[in-house]
């Protein structure tokens, strides 16, 4: 017989678990151990309703059965636990072998236990979100007082379970969003590489051929208007070839793939002509092993690249600082210039200094993009990536 003090202590201990950083099977397993110990039960199972599948799944168990979590499922109405979940009523079973509702599951070693009590985990409007099952080797081990007190425990566990279920759903959704972001960035990079190949094969190679032909013609042409026009044309083709090469390099940054983000940022800084660039990268990011997830490195690189292109095209700055630092809660990339600045548009436009592209990449990462600019006082572009998004591996 379990006295009222023991039941009260059980409730306090279960409440205490909510203050610990426990999730899923570990949380429900600890609850199962506490309940089994208080009631002198031999085993305790916590089942929760899987809303997507419409059945009960084992979410937590006492030691010896915890490896089965997530593998045992019961349809609503199937077995005693399924009946309790379907009816929303407790079941007190003195000898389960005499109960027509009982369903034998070999993995749960039902042959070792005779009596059981099963109570529903109820939420608002008596909505069942799970079932708490206790088993004993002895027939008649549980009585009506167990049902009454266990229902109090079950009501408390139901609230904990609902929070845990919502957390798991949120975590699952977060993982799906991360995978989707990684895949989207990967596809964007594949498109860029395809375009780089097309520029190299379809534009650069013919330009190189034209450049050689023009050079030969210019060398053999007599002086005069034709010769002068050949020189001008040769210069135009040479400039176009340089632009095509820069575009190809920008579309497919091999340094990022080979050496990582810090090297990629150094490469971007080296390519910014006519402006002094200061690069400040945390040492742990310079030497980090393993590296950040590929899609995260790519997104950070592209935001920096877009910001630097904006500087070169519009800012007329003399100094640009690129900062990549660890911050509380994540990673911060900043591109700061001392140029003309601008008035950020209230509504982003596709032509607004490339802001739309940077915002799209920030959104894919689940990051926050901040743009601070005042006309005549320069611009700061800051990207803050949460820690949870830094090491998520691409699919």
For 152-208, the pLDDT digits (tens) are 999 888 888 877 777 777 767 777 776 777 777 777 766 666 776 677 677 778 888
Residue that is last in its domain, among 172, 205, 231: 172
Assign 16 a pLDDT band (cuts: 50, 70, 90): confident
In a domain, 211, yes or no: no
Do 258 and 166 have their domain in common?
no
Do 29 and 156 have their domain in common?
yes
Do 25 and 158 have their domain in common?
yes
Do 123 and 30 have their domain in common?
yes
Question: Which DSSP letter does residue 79 get?
Answer: H
Do 164 and 277 have their domain in common?
no
pTM above 0.75, yes or no: no
Find the farthest-apart pair of alpha carbons in the chain and give their distance in angstroms, rounded: 115
Do 39 and 166 have their domain in common?
yes
**How many Cβ atoms from other residues are within 10 Å of residue 360's Cβ?**
16
d(CA 58, CA 176): 23
Give the total residue count for the chain: 395
CATH of the domain at 79: 3.30.450.40
Exposure letters 325-339 (e unless 16+ CB within 10 A, then b):
eeeeebbbbbbbbbb
Tell whether the model's pLDDT for residue 42 goes beyond 80.
Answer: yes
Residue that is last in its domain, among 172, 198, 215: 172
CATH of the domain at 313: 3.30.565.10
263 near 271, Cβ under 8 Å? no
In a domain, 24, yes or no: yes
Tell whether the model's pLDDT for residue 246 goes beyond 70.
Answer: no
Assign 249 a pLDDT band (cuts: 50, 70, 90): low
In a domain, 215, yes or no: no
Residue that is last in its domain, among 149, 172, 195: 172
d(CA 177, CA 192): 22
Do 125 and 262 have their domain in common?
no
Do 145 and 263 have their domain in common?
no
Comparing C-alpha atoms, which of 30, 27, 33 is closest to residue 134? 33
Q: What percent of the chain is predicted at pLDDT more than 90? A: 34
Range of the domain at 154: 4-172
165 near 20, Cβ under 8 Å? no
Do 8 and 156 have their domain in common?
yes
d(CA 268, CA 374): 25
In a domain, 192, yes or no: no
**How many Cβ atoms from other residues are within 10 Å of residue 108's Cβ?**
19
In a domain, 248, yes or no: no
In a domain, 191, yes or no: no
Instruction: Kindly report, residue by residue over 315-373, the tens digit of the pLDDT.
Output: 888 899 999 998 888 899 999 999 888 876 655 554 454 788 888 888 888 889 999 98
Do 136 and 281 have their domain in common?
no
In a domain, 48, yes or no: yes
Give 368's contacts (C-beta < 8 A, 6+ positions apart): 362, 383, 384
In a domain, 94, yes or no: yes
Number of domains in the chain: 2
Do 269 and 167 have their domain in common?
no
Please state which of the ranges 132-141, 185-194, 205-214, 298-307 shows the lowest mean pLDDT.
Answer: 185-194
């Amino acid at each position: 017989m379990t006295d009222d003090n023991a039941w009260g202590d059980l409730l306090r201990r279960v409440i205490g678990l909510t203050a610990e950083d426990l999730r899923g099977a570990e949380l429900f397993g600890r609850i199962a151990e506490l309940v089994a110990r208080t009631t002198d039960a031999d085993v305790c199972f916590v089942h929760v309703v899987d809303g997507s599948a419409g059945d009960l799944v084992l979410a937590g168990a006492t030691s010896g059965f915890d490896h089965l979590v997530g593998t045992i499922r019961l349809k609503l109405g199937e077995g005693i636990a399924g009946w309790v979940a379907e009816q929303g009523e407790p079941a007190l079973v003195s000898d389960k072998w005499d109960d027509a509702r009982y369903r034998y599951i070999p993995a749960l070693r039902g042959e070792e236990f005779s009596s059981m009590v099963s109570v529903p985990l109820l939420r608002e409007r008596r909505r069942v979100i799970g079932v708490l099952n206790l088993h004993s080797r002895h027939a008649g081990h549980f009585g009506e007082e167990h049902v009454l007190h266990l229902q109090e425990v079950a009501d408390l566990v139901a609230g904990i379970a609902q929070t845990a279920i919502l957390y798991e759903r949120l975590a699952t959704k977060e993982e799906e969003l991360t995978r989707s972001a990684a895949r989207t960035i990967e596809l964007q990079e594949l498109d860029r590489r395809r375009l780089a190949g097309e520029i190299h094969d379809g534009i650069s190679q013919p330009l190189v051929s034209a450049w050689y032909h023009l050079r030969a013609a210019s060398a053999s042409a007599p002086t005069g208007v034709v010769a002068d026009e050949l020189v001008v044309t040769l210069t135009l083709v040479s400039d176009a070839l340089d632009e095509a090469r820069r575009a190809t390099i920008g579309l497919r940054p091999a340094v990022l793939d080979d050496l990582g983000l810090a090297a990629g940022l150094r490469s971007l800084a080296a390519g910014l002509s006519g402006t002094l660039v200061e690069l400040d990268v945390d040492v742990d990011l310079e030497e980090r092993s393993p590296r950040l997830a590929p899609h995260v490195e790519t997104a950070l690189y592209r935001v920096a690249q877009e910001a630097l292109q904006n500087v070169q095209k519009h800012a007329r700055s003399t100094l640009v600082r690129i900062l990549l630092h660890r911050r509380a809660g994540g990673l911060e990339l900043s591109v700061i210039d001392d140029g003309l600045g601008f008035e950020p548009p209230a509504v982003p436009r596709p032509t607004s200094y490339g802001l739309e592209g940077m915002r799209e990449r920030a959104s894919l990462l689940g990051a926050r993009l901040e743009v601070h600019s005042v006309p005549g006082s320069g611009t700061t572009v800051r990207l803050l990536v949460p820690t949870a998004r830094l090491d998520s591996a691409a699919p």
